[in-house]
Amino acid sequence: MLRTACLGLLALFCSALCVVAASTTQALPREGDVTIDGVLDEAAWERAPWQAGFRSASAAAENAGEPRPAAVQTRFKVLWDAAALFVAVECDEPQVEALKARYAAHDSDVYQDDCVELFMDPAGEGRYYHHVVVNSKGAWYDDYGADYGLVHVKRWECPLETATSVDAAAKAWRCEVRIPLAALQLKPDAGSTWLWNVTRERYAGGRLELTTWAPLKGNFHQPKRFGRLTGVAIDYSRFAVGLGEPKVTISGGSGTFNTLELRLPVTNGGQQPRSLRLSAGRFLAPETAVTAAPIELAGGATQVVTLPGLRVRRGDSDAAVQITATDTVLEQPATIVVKRLDADYRPLVVEVLQPVYRGNIYATESVPEIVFRVTLADDVAARTRAVAYALCTAAGTEIHAGTATAAQIEGDLRLDAAALPVGTYALVLRALGRETDEVIAETRATLRKLAPAPGSEVRVDALGNILVDGKPRMFLGWYGGIPLEDPRADVVALQDLTTPVVLPGIAPEDVARALGEPFRRHGIYSVV
């Protein structure tokens, strides 16, 4: 009965999601220049009609049933060209002096200001969608959503152009956005009709009011209910260029900067040859870009491109780098990606391969050797004769030691660990100079030999398997709770893992008392 009821509710939920809103508008091809300044005075905008009819999506409207027309209206229009989508939004605002606009930085909480939100799914399928929020200052937030809003990839970044203007006389504020198509996640199923919606969050009236073009209730992240944007007659084959993961070499540079050298594979996903030029620069700082020589790439071919050194500020351990592949014939971007790259200059790096999990030797495993690899920054390698390494106690006493030449550190290094007692240890490495034994660079990694766990020992082995008390386990579970009171053993046995809701202010020991005994009795594990 319980399972049947759940399946019935799931079917109703999925049925509701599959109802596509009737709202439809057309994107027109851009004719004439458009300057992103928030003024909307170009002839190109004049020929595009406004799309209005926003409805309330606030909780009060949801409780009342069918969404009612918004008391304070919003309207938008859309243009496109071969390289970008252009969106203009005009927001009526009778209390324009009360506009809330606290945030000015990219990816800050602009959705807590007076703002508009753009949702777009070029595939028209309703699973994956792009999401952009722009406040009345022109600051924006962007993410890539999936699975009906349950997943938001904040690390997707789009080099938008945005501008806004506030018109006190007309009691309105306006927003203008240019969205480069090369930065979108354009899959092969992208078409001329997109799922599309524009929404608004209004605070100027003294309380939050949610309004939407497509008829949604309570939650904007319902891609199956988005409206439709037609007429986007774009040749998507122009964007069939893939950029692989870059290999990054970091050098110390000079002054307050480090230098990144990027090597990355470029793939022509189309059938026709392409002439491409790669550039890379810090995101939202185009003046920092460095450019490689153009390459000729046959259809389906891949080539690794090395870019000139890109300077990043020393201390920025995580740099947002925009990489652009430009078609040199069209002089338009074919693809734009923003990567979060490790930019921390580390002259000497050690990677511990064994023990495999968190640098710990667990009571249920046998680790006869410490196995590790050493990497030197290029500028350090040029001055290094050898690398000395030692396994030391917490007090600094050497237990085992060795020295490796530059040729030997190309492979794995090993130290005996068969008879280590329980305790904490340091793996210490020093790069030694060519002329003398001066220490050019030094690093260390913490290792532990653990005693038997007081409860359950949980670790991961070299193949990624989860082991509980030394034995592999396959977990089945979900977020929420387990019906422990259900008398049918098979219902409880369906799940042996739960991720409980943890409320602020609840002490861990209280959670342990509440869950510990019944979970132990039923063999259920909890991940918080």
The model's pLDDT over 101-123, given as tens digits with 9 standing for 90+, comes to 999 999 999 999 999 999 999 99
- The pLDDT > 70 percentage for the chain reads 88
Count of residues making up the chain:
528
> Rounded to 10 degrees, what is the CA torsion of 470, 474, 479, 480?
-80
Query: How far is it, in rounded angstroms, from Cα 336 to Cα 180?
Result: 9
Asked if residue 13 has pLDDT above 50, the reply is no
- pLDDT value for 187: 83
pLDDT, greater one: 337 or 492 = 337
Q: What are phi and psi of 277, to 5 degrees?
A: -125, 125
Asked if residue 303 has pLDDT above 90, the reply is yes
- pLDDT value for 16: 38
Provide the whole-model pTM. 0.76
pLDDT digit string, tens, across residues 430-443: 999 988 889 999 99
pLDDT digit string, tens, across residues 341-382: 988 888 999 999 999 999 999 999 999 999 999 999 888 999
Task: Tell me the average pLDDT of the chain.
Answer: 88
Say which range, 11-15, 132-136, 214-218, 331-335, has the weakest mean pLDDT: 11-15
Query: How far is it, in rounded angstroms, from Cα 164 to Cα 173?
Result: 7
- pLDDT value for 507: 73
Q: Provide mean pLDDT across the span 246-257.
A: 81
Helices first, then strands: H and E counts in the chain = 6, 38
C-alpha angle 366-367-373 in degrees, rounded to nearest 5: 160
The HSE-up count of residue 451 (CA atoms within 13 Å, CB side) is 4
- Going by pLDDT thresholds of 50, 70 and 90, the confidence category of residue 276 is very high
Query: How far is it, in rounded angstroms, from Cα 337 to Cα 10?
Result: 37
pLDDT, greater one: 505 or 329 = 329
